[in-house]
Structure 1
Amino acid sequence: MDITTLVLIAAVVVLIGVSKSAFAGALGVFAVPLLMLKLPAAQAIALMLPLLIIGDMLSVRSYWRKWDNQLLLPLIPGAIVGVLIAYLIIDVINAKHLRLIIALICIVFSIKNIFFKKSSLKILSNKIGAGIMSMFSGITSSLVHAGGPPIIIYFTAIGLTPGKFVATAAIFFAMMNVIKLIAALSFGLLTGETILTALAFFPLAFVGNWLGVKINEVLDKVLFLKIMNYLLLVLGFWLLLGK
């Protein structure tokens, strides 16, 4: 790899660390397109999974047992089903159409929260909503590495505090990415070289994690949820306008 590629991967590793420990993985959607500036699409997507797992490990360590178990448990079955569905339909699904659906959901939800704050989405504030959004997250995470928006929408709808928001998202995505790792290894989608490349950047993941935790510590609930809504709006347009 040339120096530009190495610097780019290093920047993505830091971005993932900050994203997972400060904004529940919201910035992760930008990671694959950034890697694709210097890497082939298949290589960029393959490299993302071990990088995400490294970020997960550090985020879970930083927020150990600060997550909400009652909130987490209903999310796990949906995520497993979503990952399984994704690998069953991976050869027939149109990734561009899936990105469009995610984009429109992000834009509509964020606009509702920014401009129509008094209205609420009661349909999401229950176990059915948790199951639907976690399943959607499993599908989108497996197919286009965009599992963050569905869970962010769900957590924003129920108004979690910053600490529980990020901590519960951290353990949820850690579990889901382990499921994805098992599936990826089973399908032969990961190579030893890809895993070693990810491990080489492990020290920089600590930097991103540390920055993210510090950012999260200074945000109160109102400001945090406001930031998450605007991030969803940006993510929506990014997915809508991206290739």
Structure 2
Amino acid sequence: MSIDPSIYLAAIPAVMLVGLTKGGMGEALALMGVPILAMVVSPVQAAAILLPILIVSDIVSLYIWRHHNDRRTLIFLLPGGIFGIALGWATSAYVPRDALRLIIGLITVFFAARYFYNQWRIRKGIVIAAKPQRIGPAAFFGTLSGYGSFVAHAGGAPFQVYALPLKLSPRDYTGAAVRFFATMNALKLIPYFALGQLDTTNLTISATLMPLAMAMTALGGYLVKRMKPDIFYPFMYGMALAAGLKLVTDGIAALS
């Protein structure tokens, strides 16, 4: 088994961004992981290399955020997320991934733009109440998150669309997000093995990068825990907007 050392020139920055995301720094950083790594390997191999790294980072992140969670958010979103993973496995050969990126990106851009518009309204004296938990939107965005996570590593944006308007405390929001995606990534192992994407070469590359991923996850958690809500929420919505724009541009570029 021979591994081209040049892979690590792209893999190291990709893993650093993914690790920061797993610590709680926002989905936009993680979306750069696969494209950066895909500059030196195929997108499928890039996703396969990153999946074990994501799972190890999830373990670190679960420990960091073990005292923070919002159980109701998980109860509402997890059934849809699990269904989305199953749906992605069943239809992955038939659904164009680039079209899915475009759709998720457009929804996310609209959602983030609406937040910044509402911030302008708040400065004008208009009160914007937190959204309640809602079964219908939770099922839709949970499914979209699970599906997007499986077929395009783009599950974070739909999660944010549902969860950010709940206006949870930053720590409880992050704790719920960590638990949701740890569950999604663990479930993805089964179909990824079945599809033959986790071979010895990819797992070896993943193993060498795991210490870096763990360190960056710890750094991301350290930074987020020290953010106040009036910094955390604009930052997270900004990350959502960046993630949405990245998905839209990738989708348009590929489809055109």
Short-chain TM bin: over 0.9
Q: Which stretch of the first structure deviates more once superposed, 102-111 or 179-188? A: 179-188
Aligned partner of 2:210 in structure 1 is 202
Aligned with residue 128 of structure 1, among 130, 136, 146: 136
Q: TM-score normalized by structure 1?
A: 0.92
Q: In structure 2, how many angstroms separate the alpha carbons of the residues matched to 1:44 and 1:233?
A: 24
Q: Report the more deviating stretch, 177-186 or 110-119.
A: 110-119
The count of aligned residue pairs is: 242
Offset of residue 42 of structure 1: 2.0
Aligned counterpart, 2:79 = 77
- The CA deviation at 1:79 is 1.1
Match of 1:176 in 2: 184
Q: Which runs of 4+ in 1 moved over 4 A?
A: 118-122
Larger Rg: 2
Aligned equivalent of 1:152, options 148, 160, 171: 160
Distance 1:180 1:144, change over 3 A: same
Q: Is the 8 A contact 1:24 1:169 kept in 2?
A: no
TM-score (norm 2): 0.88
- Hey, what's the Cα distance between the residues in 1 that align with 2:133 and 2:233? 16
Structure 2: state its 5+ residue gaps: 122-127
CA distance in 1, matches of 2:213, 2:42: 23
Does the Cα contact within 8 Å between 1:125 and 1:157 map onto a contact in 2? Answer: no
Distance 2:78 2:50 in 1: 22
Superposed, which structure 2 residues align to 1:77-156 within 5 Å? Answer: 77-117=79-119, 122=131, 125-156=133-164
Using the alignment, how far apart are the partners of 1:237 and 1:44 within structure 2?
21
CA deviation after TM superposition for structure 1 residue 139, in Å: 0.5
Match of 1:42 in 2: 44
Please tell me whether the aligned partners of residues 26 and 240 of structure 2 are also in contact (alpha carbons under 8 angstroms): no
The residue aligned with 2:245 is: 237
CA contact (8 A) 1:20 1:26 kept: no
Of 48, 59, 62, the match for 1:60: 62
Structure 2 Cα separation of the partners of residues 114 and 44 of structure 1: 34
Deviation at 1:146, TM superposition (A): 0.4
Partner of 2:234, secondary structure, is helix
Q: How many Å separate the matches in 1 of 2:166 and 2:130?
A: 9
Per the alignment, residue 173 of structure 2 pairs with 165
Q: Is the 8 A contact 2:130 2:167 kept in 1?
A: no
Q: Does 1:217 align with 2:219?
A: no
Deviation at 1:92, TM superposition (A): 1.1
Q: Percent identity?
A: 28
Bigger Cα displacement from structure 2, 153-162 vs 111-120? 111-120
The 2-side partners of 1:70 and 1:103 are apart by 26
Mapped pair 1:226 → 2:255: no
Distance 2:92 2:214 in 1: 33
Q: Which runs of 5+ in 1 are unaligned?
A: none
Structure 1 distance, partners of 2:96, 2:214, is: 36
1:114-157 CA-to-partner distances (Å, cap 9, x unmatched) read 013456795x7313222221111010010111010011121211
Report the Cα distance in structure 1 between the residues aligned to 2:141 and 2:50, rounded to whole angstroms: 22
Check the 8 A contact 2:10/2:36 in 1, yes or no.
yes
Gap change, CA 1:222 and 1:127, over 3 Å in 2: farther
CA root-mean-square deviation:
1.8
